[in-house]
Amino acid sequence: MNFLRKISPLRLIVLGFASVITLGAVILLLPISANDGVKVEVIDAFFTSTSAVCVTGLIAVDTYDTFNAFGQTVVALLIQIGGLGVTSIGVGIILLAGKKVSFRDRIMVKEAMGLDSMKGIVRIVKSVLLLTLAFESIGAILSFIVFSQDYPTGRAIGISLFHSIAAFNNSGFDILGGLQNLIPYKDNILLNLTTCGLIIFGGLGFHVIKEIITKHSFKKLSFHSKVVLSMTGILLISGTILIKFTENITWLGAFFFSTSARTAGFSTYMLSGFTNAGLFVLIILMFMGASPGSTGGGIKTTTTFVLFKSAYSMSTNKNCVAFKRKIGSTLITKACLLTLLASTLVIIDTLFLTILEPGYSFIQLLFETVSAFGTVGLSTGITPDLSVVSKVIIILTMFIGRLGPLTMASIWIYKPTSSVSYSEENLTIG
């Protein structure tokens, strides 16, 4: 215990995620988790557990064909823990037990959820848990209407609950079997819109959802919420149009992929049949991702917004302003650093995969890497056939993508600011 008290909150969060992943993998390796006659390899158990906790959805083995009801429940729980965050779940358990939340626990929740202060931490955690329960319950009921038409009642209930948890937590897992995902339901409007609704709200972030519910007016929203909603709308519309124009699919399918590509990972069409142009559009959407404080990954919508606004302000020699608010230089620097770290990670991982997997095309391997970093889960179908080393690379990429490259970097290389200063020198750029 004394050892844990000396560890910084950020490192404890990383340790918490790693511990849950390891525990999940161990449970999935047990005979009670697998279907009769199925042997789960160690790498596949860790891959599945990491993908679930990091709410990604990339799968090395089909969840339904490999794991029984118990194993599927474990995967669902891992998705829920990963979506809400280890610290939020821990605080929730403390509250249910009727115990007091310690100051250290509050710090960890603040760091994990990216909050500005510790004011009202317990109230925020309660709201998050209640909102999650509400959205997932509604999603499960609507999904049941669809699945009950094709499956017995008991199985339909299980599929509906699993699907709702996976969708709201932006994780593309399914338990339909045969690696088919939602392809059989590509024309089902109710299931498509229900899934998209869960993904969108799950990707907005709990702070934004709460403001939408309480303030009822765009003008009354905070600067953060305005940026998130604006960017989400722009990416959904532009993504839908681009996908429709690059692929021979329906408008419903294009909208579904525009929604899913921004960190959910559900598929209604086989991606192996997509053109390079269509795959590249999805890669861009996956890299941008969802919003801060949400269950999604990527560099986040706010980072993308700041990058474009700062680029515009620099090119026009104007102040970086949006919604009558100035965007500070510190925020711009942070956005640039995050994007640089994320791009570097994707480039290095893709390079290694191209060396290790010469049988696949560059676009397939780049797609797989960005999907892992963005905790999306979309794949062109190559995941199960990757080598052990390649799967390890994808596992690490999912882990970094979930926690954030900036967080991972600051944990290990951050040092207190030095009092020594140097003279400034000019450098030609561009």
In the chain, domain spans: 2-405
CA distance 240 to 273: 18
110, 118 Cβ separation under 8 angstroms: yes
**Cα torsion at 136, 71, 25, 380 (round to 10°)?**
-70
pLDDT at 119: 63
267, 181 Cβ separation under 8 angstroms: yes
Cα dihedral 417, 421, 426, 427 sign? negative
333, 293 Cβ separation under 8 angstroms: no
Bridge partners of 321?
326
CA distance 420 to 181: 57
pLDDT at 112: 56
C-alpha dist (Å) from residue 245 to 106, 182, 272, 274: 48, 22, 17, 12
Tens digits of pLDDT across the chain (430 residues): 455 455 666 677 788 888 899 999 999 999 999 999 999 999 999 999 999 999 898 999 999 999 999 999 999 999 998 888 755 665 555 555 566 656 555 665 555 555 555 566 667 777 888 888 999 999 999 999 999 999 999 999 999 999 999 999 999 899 999 888 999 999 999 999 999 999 999 989 888 888 888 888 888 899 999 999 999 999 999 999 999 999 999 999 999 999 999 888 899 999 988 999 999 999 999 999 988 878 778 999 999 999 999 999 988 888 899 998 999 888 999 899 999 999 999 999 999 999 999 999 999 999 999 999 999 999 999 999 999 999 999 999 999 988 877 666 665 554 555 556 677 776 666 6
pLDDT at 110: 58
Report the predicted TM-score, pTM, of the whole model to 2 decimal places: 0.89
